Structure 1
Amino acid sequence: MENRSNSIKKDSPPLDNMADAKQNLEAFNTRDDELGHMMEVVATPKEERRALWKLDMILIPMMGLCYMMQYMDKLALSQATLFGLREDLNLQGSDYSWASAIFYFGYLAWSWPSSYLMVRLPIGKYISATVLVWGGVLMCHAAAKTFGGLLAARFFLGVGEASIAPGFALITGMLYKREEQPARQAAWFLGNCVSTIIGGVVAYAIGTIENATVNSWQLLFLVLGTITAGMFCWLIFLLPDSPKKIIFLTKQEQAIVLQRTVANKTGMMDGGDFKASQAWLALRDPQTWLLVLYTFCVNLWNGGVTSFSGIIIKSFGFSQLTSLLMQMPMGAAQVVFLLLSAGIATLVPRTRIIMMIFNILVSTIGMLLVWQLDPNNQTGRMVGLTLGAVFAVNIPLSLSLISSNVAGFTKRSVTGALLFVAYCVGNIVGPQLFIDTEEPSYPTGMKASVSGLALGAFFLVCLLFYYLYENRRRDSVYGPPTQLTDEQERAQGLLNKTDLEIESFRYLI
């Protein structure tokens, strides 16, 4: 660790004196006169609160609704099995497992190109375009007549959805202070939990429609796809590309947003260039790989149980349509634990990772109940499956770790892409462990889910100790970051350097 920091200190000019800070600000103002003027705007506390209120009331619900539709669309395949999709398409053996997994191949294939395009293109418009593609592809599911057709639709659905979560995480990190990000990440992720609650109701309602033209599972894809594609009409206007392009804020409020977040030191005002040096730093950063390993392990559960939840719940003794409604408690549990986790992480300092570990342990206990309780214990196993879904509320907290602890726009986008690669690989492997001959108890899948959750908790503990060690080491080598003046903080925030290059950067835990 010492050698790495010494080399970084030599390679990058130190920023711990006033002369360097002034030089950086002058260079920034020369490069962009408009932004330089925005940095000079003086705002009152009331004006700052109003700008923040507008972001919270317009941007966050918009992203939450979009994320709600993403999970509803993802859950639709599991719901479609209860409407006869496997029988109509003649899926045999492991065909359904591969239909579930191929979505993540598309997700994985587009993760790296997406991380590059989000840096090079206006991020708001790029994400809006992907939503339109994703909605159109979802409607194409209804046209599938064979296993091959379903695989093609699932693959391109993964391509369409690959940019949503990492893109929203980048936008949140661009517009909010580091300490504000866990609550805002959790707020738009709440759409995921709401979709689990209402998704079953929507599917149940569609299942009761008698239609001789299309089957219920086809109608499900058509309805959800139409709603998703329709979101493009307002996303294209309201989703911002940068703080100075938020159309629902005044020029004064745009300047306030810029000034509030510049002290994050996370490179939120990048010039649009993909920096290879930052990509390399992302690959050699220990926090990157600890987050990657954690993400892969916990998504062994996500890929398997999410895809097979309809079948598993039905095996508890519920009818087909009732099985759809019984997914609602899983969403309710996620809402409760999301509010609890985000609230504590926001109000109590240094508790973000601790809350993530707590949620993982709750899910582990839940899956042990599903696996070990008597098959006739319908209530106990349903409670276990409900608790097993709690780990998913860690997603916004892990995204907030990236947006607040990974500095440099390119480094952050590459780190986010690596996490979603791990997310995809875990979701690809997970369904393969739910072997068709073991239906409906799936002992192999249950063992993999419990093991993945336990390993995920272990890697989070390792990440916690790494952050603690690195913060103390930097305090010892460079002194406490409070020694910097406001002008020096501003200069560092505008430089688009990485957390490994900024001596005053300290990791939030």
Structure 2
Amino acid sequence: MSGAESLASIDKEKHPHGLTVALPSVSEEKLHETEVGYNIYKETTEQGLDWTVKEEGWILRRIDIWILPCFCLTQGLAFLDKTALNYGNLFGMKADLHVTSSQFSWFASAFYLGASRYLVAAEPSNWLLQRYPTGKVMGIMTFFWGIIVIPGLGLMTPMWWRLQEQPYCFNGVAGILGGFLSYGLGHATHASVPTWALIFLVLGAVTTLWGIYLFFMLPDSPVNARFFDERQKAIAVKRVAANRTGIKNKQFKMYQVREAFVDPKTYILFLASIAAQIPNGVVSNFSSIIIKGMGFTTFQTVLLDIPSSVLQIVSLVGSGYLAGKFKNSRAVMMFIGNSTCIIAAACLTYAPQDQKWGRLVAYWFTSFQSVGFAMSLVMVSANVGGYTKRQVVTALTFIVHVSTLHLHCSQNIAGPHVLLDSEEDIGYPTATKAMMSGYVAKTALHLALGFYMFFENRRRDLDAEQEGTKVSDGERSRLAEEAGMADITERDNKWFRYVL
């Protein structure tokens, strides 16, 4: 079956769930115009492009050298930007501003209330990412620190790395650096501004400068990476084409938007994101209060918050390594990470108050919550085809900040308010119980996601047998890859199988 024939057959297919779909005609000329890297993919497929493991390893190292720092530092600065309030609180911000504990809790909530602009800005921002050079858009938005940063990273990651290579672990590193930075700035006794304000000034200045660097140095895709020659660009494109979800398509497709809103995966990921936000709101903004409440001094608290970031790195690197080594194990890694958090939150809630070191270690292990979050991002990039659909699902995963329209916001606003001053002497049980509840809900939803995709794969295999279209795994992967490069969604791509 030729490429043109296989793509044409996709146009005539019924939806995998039995619905007749009116897909727009797949035109080779249109694909050359709208699908980033399609011309390279098509030419090299027809000509036959072979490369050695050593050559691919060299290309991957170049990507890691040039692109990975851009992603990691951007993600890390976004994390520090959100958690700076946590450090500021430890160094007297509440007292200097003469606010009550309830008012200070609203400072934490204001980050998410202010983020109601997500609802308005997310889709236009994603449209800019889709239509214009991604590196330039990311640079400008990072300079103004818009909300596009994290969704942008989620959309750009599949452009550069295979599924088993995709990195998500820099928040832990940022947490370590933030801890040491706060510890150092806390000793700057002769500064003309309070310590808490100095923390905000330093982080803001670094973020602004980093946005300028991104604008000039972050390539838009492998196609225009200056550190690759033409052959290397072709290999880089062919590598990620194996993800079966395409690279980037410049055309906004309404049918993919509609499909995103009828896909059960969208709602499972959305609800799991909601469930994660109360524990995330507590840990991100009030870890210093929780640790200090165990009986530690201010500077001890800063340093004792660092091991949680170390465990976060270990859990992410370890789960990522195992997920890459063992096929279809990402859902299992999500379950292990979430279960660890449930046990840790239970220990925080019910362990004797005089066992402060035991309770501290339990708190450290709540950092395993990042495993579920990181793997859910990989689930989007690995299991959502069609660039417009993927950007909608990604946006919905992050647009969780408006209380009436997006429940995620109400949870992240509520998160800081479950930590009650009256419970300081007894370990904030309301907060820890709320954390445990969130972890349990997230675990159930991630299990539902895994089971849904598992049974959907089985259904597709059975349909292929009944229709007489079953092919070898290698041929099916080739056809799925080809359809993905034509910007076909995973639900309309009958050759696609979900990665668990």
User: What TM-score range do you get, normalising by the shorter chain?
Assistant: 0.7 to 0.9
TM-score scaled to structure 2, two decimals? 0.87
- Number of the residue aligned with 2:456: 470
- Number of the residue aligned with 2:499: 508
Distance 2:378 2:92 in 1: 40
Distance 1:258 1:58 in 2: 16
- Number of the residue aligned with 2:217: 238
The correspondence of residues 60-459 of structure 1 with structure 2, limited to 5 A, is: 60-110=68-118, 111-134=122-145, 160=146, 162-178=147-163, 180=164, 183-186=165-168, 190-270=169-249, 272-422=250-400, 424-439=409-424, 441-459=427-445
Q: How far apart are 1:287 and its partner, in Å?
A: 0.8
Distance 1:490 1:377 in 2: 55
Distance 1:165 1:105 in 2: 18
- Number of the residue aligned with 1:146: none
- Give the 3 Å change call, closer, same or farther, for CA 275–106 of structure 1 in structure 2: farther
Structure 1 contact 330–385 (Cα < 8 Å) conserved: yes
Q: How far apart are 1:438 and its partner, in Å?
A: 3.4
CA displacement, residues 10-61 of structure 1 (integer Å, 9 cap, x when unaligned)? 5348xxxxxx9xx865764587898525642434224333222211222112
Distance 2:144 2:189 in 1: 29
Q: How far apart are 1:424 and its partner, in Å?
A: 4.4
How many residues in Structure 1 have an aligned counterpart in Structure 2? 467
Distance 1:209 1:455 in 2: 43
Structure 1, unaligned stretches of length 5 or more? 14-19, 135-159
Q: How far apart are 1:174 and its partner, in Å?
A: 1.9
Structure 1 contact 481–505 (Cα < 8 Å) conserved: no
Structure 2, unaligned stretches of length 5 or more? 1-13, 401-407
- Give the 3 Å change call, closer, same or farther, for CA 481–358 of structure 1 in structure 2: farther
Structure 2 contact 245–481 (Cα < 8 Å) conserved: no
Distance 1:299 1:31 in 2: 37
Aligned residue type for 2:68: I
Aligned residue type for 2:363: L
Q: How far apart are 1:7 and its partner, in Å?
A: 4.4
Distance 2:116 2:36 in 1: 40
Structure 1 contact 238–247 (Cα < 8 Å) conserved: no
CA displacement, residues 350-391 of structure 1 (integer Å, 9 cap, x when unaligned)? 110111110111111111111112222110110111011211
- Number of the residue aligned with 2:51: 44
- Give the 3 Å change call, closer, same or farther, for CA 275–29 of structure 1 in structure 2: closer
Structure 2 contact 243–481 (Cα < 8 Å) conserved: no
Distance 1:207 1:6 in 2: 59
Task: Point out the more displaced range, 484-493 or 498-507.
Answer: 484-493
Distance 1:283 1:32 in 2: 23
Distance 1:199 1:481 in 2: 52
Distance 1:78 1:33 in 2: 41
Distance 1:33 1:279 in 2: 20
Task: Point out the more displaced range, 290-299 or 237-246.
Answer: 237-246
Task: Point out the more displaced range, 393-402 or 498-507.
Answer: 393-402
2:480 is aligned with 1:498: no
Structure 2 contact 86–287 (Cα < 8 Å) conserved: yes
Aligned residue type for 1:244: V
- Give the 3 Å change call, closer, same or farther, for CA 476–33 of structure 1 in structure 2: closer
Query: What percent of counterpart residues are identical?
Result: 32
- Give the 3 Å change call, closer, same or farther, for CA 488–332 of structure 1 in structure 2: closer
CA displacement, residues 143-191 of structure 1 (integer Å, 9 cap, x when unaligned)? xxxxxxxxxxxxxxxxx2x22222111111122233x2xx4223xxx22
2:62 is aligned with 1:54: yes
Aligned residue type for 1:185: P
TM-score scaled to structure 1, two decimals? 0.85
Aligned residue type for 2:143: L
Aligned residue type for 1:44: W
Distance 2:50 2:456 in 1: 35
Q: How far apart are 1:421 and its partner, in Å?
A: 2.4
Structure 1 contact 266–496 (Cα < 8 Å) conserved: yes
Aligned residue type for 1:228: T
- Give the 3 Å change call, closer, same or farther, for CA 467–225 of structure 1 in structure 2: same
Structure 1 contact 177–261 (Cα < 8 Å) conserved: yes
Backbone CA RMSD of aligned residues: 2.5
2:482 is aligned with 1:482: no
- Give the 3 Å change call, closer, same or farther, for CA 488–508 of structure 1 in structure 2: closer
- Give the 3 Å change call, closer, same or farther, for CA 240–85 of structure 1 in structure 2: same
For residue 165 of structure 1, give the secondary structure of its aligned residue in structure 2. helix
- Give the 3 Å change call, closer, same or farther, for CA 30–4 of structure 1 in structure 2: closer
Distance 2:379 2:256 in 1: 18
Q: How far apart are 1:109 and its partner, in Å?
A: 2.4
